[in-house]
Structure 1
Amino acid sequence: MTCFINAAGAWCNGEVAYLAWKANRIDGCLGYMITRVHETGQDAGQRRILPTWIAFTDQSNPQWLAQDASVWPVQSFEWRDLTLRRSRDQATVRPINFRVHYEIVPVGTAGPGRTPVPPSATAPFKDAEGKPRYDGTPRPLFTIGMPFVTAPIDVTHDYGAVRATFTNGILSTQNLLQQLRSAAKAHGEPAAPPNTTKGLLAVLKQEIIDPKSDIRAFLTADVLSFVRQLLDRQMNEGGELFLALYELHDPELISLLVEAVKGGKVHLILSTAGSTNPNARGTAKDERQPVVWDTENNDARAALHKAASASIQDRMFNNSTPIGHDKFAVYVKNGVPTAVMTGSTNWTETGLCTQSNNSIIIEDGGLAKFYLDFWHRLQADAQPKRVPLSVPTAKGKIVGAAPNHAIQGQELRRANMRPFGPVTLADQVSKTEVWFSPNTQATKKTDQSPMPGDLNDVYTLMDHAKQAILFLTFMPGESGKQNIIGEAAKLAKLRPELLVAGAISDPSAMPNFVRPVKGQPKPKVKIPPPSVWWPDGEDSRIAMIRATAISTPVGDLHPELLSAGHAIIHDKIIVIDPMDKDGCAVITGSHNLGYKASYDNDENLLIIRGNQALALCYAVHVIDIYQHYLMRAKQEDEERKALLAGKTPKPPSLNHGFLTTTDSWQDRFFTKQPPTILSYFLQDAAGAAPQAPPRIAAAKAKRGAKKTSSRANARTGRSKPARRVR
Structure 2
Amino acid sequence: SQAFSREFPNVDAELEKAKEEGKPQELPSDALAWLSRGLLEEITAFVARAADPTWALDIAIYEYELPAILDQVKGALDRGADVRIVFHAKKGDSQTAENEKNLAGWPTERLRPRLTSSIFHDKFAVLSRVRAGKRDPVSVLCGSTNWTRSGVYLQANVVHIAERPEVARTYLNLFELLFGGADVSATRDWIDSNDPLPEDQPLVAGFSPRSDEKDLDAFVTMIDQAKSDVLFCTAFELDDQIDKALLGAPHDDVLRIGLQNKPSVITGYHRDRTADFAATAYLKEGLEGFLAEKTRQPSGILIHTKLVVVNFTSDAPVVISGSHNLSAAASGHNDENYLVIRGDPEVADCYGVELMRLYDHYRYRWLLDPKNKDPRPDDPCAGRPPNTLCPDNRWTANYFKEGTLEAADRERFGSPVT
Question: TM-score of the superposition, structure 2-length normalised?
Answer: 0.82
The 3 A distance-change label for structure 1 pair 534 and 619 is closer
Could you tell me whether the CA contact under 8 Å between 2:60 and 2:124 is conserved in 1?
A: yes
Superposition deviation, residue 239 in structure 1: 0.8
The 3 A distance-change label for structure 1 pair 437 and 300 is closer
In structure 2, the residue matched to 1:440 is: 211
Could you tell me whether the CA contact under 8 Å between 2:257 and 2:268 is conserved in 1?
A: no
> In the alignment, is residue 419 of structure 1 matched against residue 195 of structure 2?
yes
Which residue identity does 1:331 align to in structure 2?
L
In structure 2, the residue matched to 1:337 is: 137
What SS does the corresponding residue of 1:307 show, helix, strand or coil? coil
Structure 2: distance between partners of 1:566 and 1:371: 30
Which of 154, 157, 160 is the aligned partner of 1:357? 157
Which residue identity does 1:564 align to in structure 2?
P
Superposed, 1:159-308 pairs within 5 Å as: 173-179=1-7, 181-186=9-14, 189=17, 206-207=26-27, 213-235=29-51, 238-262=54-78, 263=80, 265-272=82-89, 293-294=93-94, 296=95, 298-308=97-107
Superposition deviation, residue 174 in structure 1: 2.0
Could you tell me whether the CA contact under 8 Å between 2:126 and 2:141 is conserved in 1?
A: yes
Superposed, 1:632-651 pairs within 5 Å as: 632-634=365-367, 638=371
What are the Cα deviations for residues 57-112 of structure 1, in whole angstroms up to 9, with x where unaligned?
xxxxxxxxxxxxxxxxxxxxxxxxxxxxxxxxxxxxxxxxxxxxxxxxxxxxxxxx
Could you tell me whether the CA contact under 8 Å between 1:183 and 1:203 is conserved in 2?
A: no
Structure 1: distance between partners of 2:295 and 2:326: 27
What SS does the corresponding residue of 1:465 show, helix, strand or coil? coil
Query: How many pairs were matched up?
Result: 396
Structure 1: distance between partners of 2:32 and 2:114: 30
In structure 1, the residue matched to 2:361 is: 628
Which of 647, 652, 674 is the aligned partner of 2:405? 674
What SS does the corresponding residue of 1:324 show, helix, strand or coil? coil
Could you tell me whether the CA contact under 8 Å between 1:366 and 1:423 is conserved in 2?
A: no
Superposition deviation, residue 492 in structure 1: 4.2
Could you tell me whether the CA contact under 8 Å between 2:52 and 2:76 is conserved in 1?
A: no
Superposition deviation, residue 567 in structure 1: 1.6
Structure 2: distance between partners of 1:176 and 1:188: 17
Could you tell me whether the CA contact under 8 Å between 2:235 and 2:325 is conserved in 1?
A: yes
Structure 1: distance between partners of 2:261 and 2:281: 12
Structure with the bigger percentage of helix: 2
Could you tell me whether the CA contact under 8 Å between 2:77 and 2:83 is conserved in 1?
A: yes
Could you tell me whether the CA contact under 8 Å between 1:244 and 1:269 is conserved in 2?
A: yes
Could you tell me whether the CA contact under 8 Å between 1:416 and 1:437 is conserved in 2?
A: yes
Superposition deviation, residue 488 in structure 1: 1.3
In structure 1, the residue matched to 2:167 is: 367
Could you tell me whether the CA contact under 8 Å between 1:180 and 1:203 is conserved in 2?
A: no
Could you tell me whether the CA contact under 8 Å between 2:53 and 2:81 is conserved in 1?
A: no
In structure 2, the residue matched to 1:93 is: none
What SS does the corresponding residue of 2:232 show, helix, strand or coil? strand
Superposition deviation, residue 224 in structure 1: 1.1
> In the alignment, is residue 499 of structure 1 matched against residue 255 of structure 2?
yes
Could you tell me whether the CA contact under 8 Å between 1:573 and 1:586 is conserved in 2?
A: yes
Could you tell me whether the CA contact under 8 Å between 1:422 and 1:431 is conserved in 2?
A: no
Could you tell me whether the CA contact under 8 Å between 1:330 and 1:371 is conserved in 2?
A: yes
The 3 A distance-change label for structure 1 pair 432 and 530 is closer
Q: List gaps (5 residues or longer) in structure 1.
A: 1-172, 191-198, 274-290, 384-407, 425-429, 442-451, 509-528, 643-651, 690-726
Which residue identity does 1:548 align to in structure 2?
T
Structure 1: distance between partners of 2:268 and 2:12: 34
What are the Cα deviations for residues 147-173 of structure 1, in whole angstroms up to 9, with x where unaligned?
xxxxxxxxxxxxxxxxxxxxxxxxxx1
In structure 2, the residue matched to 1:458 is: 219
Could you tell me whether the CA contact under 8 Å between 1:503 and 1:626 is conserved in 2?
A: yes
The structure with higher relative contact order (CA 8 Å, sep 6+) is 1
Which residue identity does 1:339 align to in structure 2?
S
In structure 1, the residue matched to 2:305 is: 571
Structure 2: distance between partners of 1:659 and 1:633: 14
CA root-mean-square deviation: 3.6
Could you tell me whether the CA contact under 8 Å between 1:344 and 1:571 is conserved in 2?
A: yes
Which of 554, 563, 566 is the aligned partner of 2:286? 554
Superposed, 1:309-320 pairs within 5 Å as: 309-317=108-116, 319=117
Structure 1: distance between partners of 2:208 and 2:370: 36
What SS does the corresponding residue of 1:306 show, helix, strand or coil? coil
The 3 A distance-change label for structure 1 pair 377 and 326 is same
The 3 A distance-change label for structure 1 pair 593 and 378 is same
